[in-house]
Amino acid sequence: MNTNSVARVLACFVCALFLFSGSAVAYDEKAPMVLKCGIDNPPGDMKAVMIKRLGDLVEQGTKGRIKFQYFFGGSLIAKPQFVDAVSKGIADISLGPGGFVSGKIPAMSIFEIYGAINFDKFLEIQKAIEPTMIKVFEPKDVRPIMVLYNPDTVLAHRTKFLKAPDDWKGQKMRVSGRFQSTLAAKWGASPVFMPPGELFLALQRGTIDGHQLIVDIINGLKLYEVTPYLTMPNFSNNIEFVTMNLKKWNAMTEADRAVFQRALDEIKVRMVQDFKKDLEALKTTMASKGAKIYYTTREEDRAYLKDAVALWPEVRKASGPLGNEFCDILEKFRQK
């Protein structure tokens, strides 16, 4: 083989190496990889602050080779798109609740069952479910990178506390996901789904009577103004998790992906203490603005959980093999 032939072969080899390694070597400090973060929450919200902190750690650790670009308040994508839009690359990072996707991804169904997650063991649970989460979302070109600490369930109503399942009878209630709708119907309510951003007007007009959500969303959207009766039981209602475009995840160099993972590990530990403090402050703020808060007794919690636990066999039938992996893991941790 002559010199020119050797040169051509080497050139082809280099090109092939570049193509098959994706864009892992196609970014640096001067031309960084930019990750578009489509966050439905406003910039001051605790989850938005957490994503910004993650971005700061990654940018610092990669010496600017990876940068985060932030689109808060739903300015890039709406919250229900936190999987589909990330899969398509409209956003590279987003976050949202499992109940928004359990209809399309039945494996996620167990997370919407009240009490399925014992948030007192949050870090253990997150580590245990991570491999299955990756298997569930990898075919959708999505990498789940973190589960969020959301221990509080709020059952909110315009005129009364919802201390027991009987209090749901005849009410039009916004819930999230198939099995939360099943429970609401069992308790005599008319289940409704709508994005959180549409709730204020619906409640103000009396189109619905109440909703099931979490503290930070209720505070951020000022829903306590139209549903001032906030019943707070001691059990989980769903999970929120952070999604990342899988191609962008794979396009990072091995060293930068290690930096990213270390940042995630640091955020996960800090998140529990930070979110606990923030959530208590939000409850105090809402109470100071007229919200009425009732904390259920253990006996009242058990009445709710009895019906929720009864749905586990139905969830298993609907969830498929990966959903049953989740069920097997959570069975060891669930609230009783």
**One-letter-per-residue 3-state SS of 165-215:** HHHHCCCEEECCCHHHHHHHHHCCCEEECCCHHHHHHHHHHCCCCEEEECH
Residues in the chain: 336
Mean pLDDT, rounded, for 142-155: 94
Q: What is the pLDDT of residue 100?
A: 84
Residues in contact with 230: Cβ distance below 8 Å, sequence separation at least 6, in sequence order: 154, 155, 156, 218, 224, 286, 291, 292, 293, 294
Mean pLDDT, rounded, for 114-139: 94
Mind listing the pLDDT tens digit for each residue in 165-189?
999 999 999 998 889 999 999 999 9
Mean pLDDT, rounded, for 324-336: 88
CATH code that applies to domain 21-149+239-279: 3.40.190.170
Mind listing the pLDDT tens digit for each residue in 214-239?
999 999 999 999 999 999 999 998 88
| Two tokens, residue 280 | 């208590």
Read off the pLDDT band of 196 (50, 70, 90).
confident
Share of the chain above pLDDT 90, in %: 78
Q: What is the CA radius of gyration of the chain?
A: 22
Q: What is the pLDDT of residue 33?
A: 97
The whole-chain average pLDDT of the chain stands at 91
- Own/partner contacts of 54-61, CB < 8 Å, gap of 24 or more, are 54/263, 54/264, 54/267, 57/262, 57/263, 57/266, 57/267, 58/259, 58/260, 58/263, 61/259, 61/260, 61/262, 61/263
Nearest partner of 158 among 101, 225, 241, 240, judged by Cα: 225
Q: What is the pLDDT of residue 195?
A: 85
Is 87:245 a contact under the CB 8 Å cutoff?
yes
Read off the pLDDT band of 23 (50, 70, 90).
very low
Read off the pLDDT band of 24 (50, 70, 90).
very low
Q: What is the pLDDT of residue 21?
A: 43
Domain map of the chain by residue range?
A: 21-149+239-279, 154-237+282-331
Q: What is the pLDDT of residue 237?
A: 86
Read off the pLDDT band of 336 (50, 70, 90).
low
Topology agreement, domain 21-149+239-279 and domain 154-237+282-331: yes
Q: Of 16-30, 69-83, 144-158, 205-219, where does mean pLDDT reach its minimum?
A: 16-30
Mean pLDDT, rounded, for 19-46: 81
Mind listing the pLDDT tens digit for each residue in 253-305?
999 999 999 999 999 999 999 999 999 999 999 999 999 999 999 999 999 99
CATH code that applies to domain 154-237+282-331: 3.40.190.170
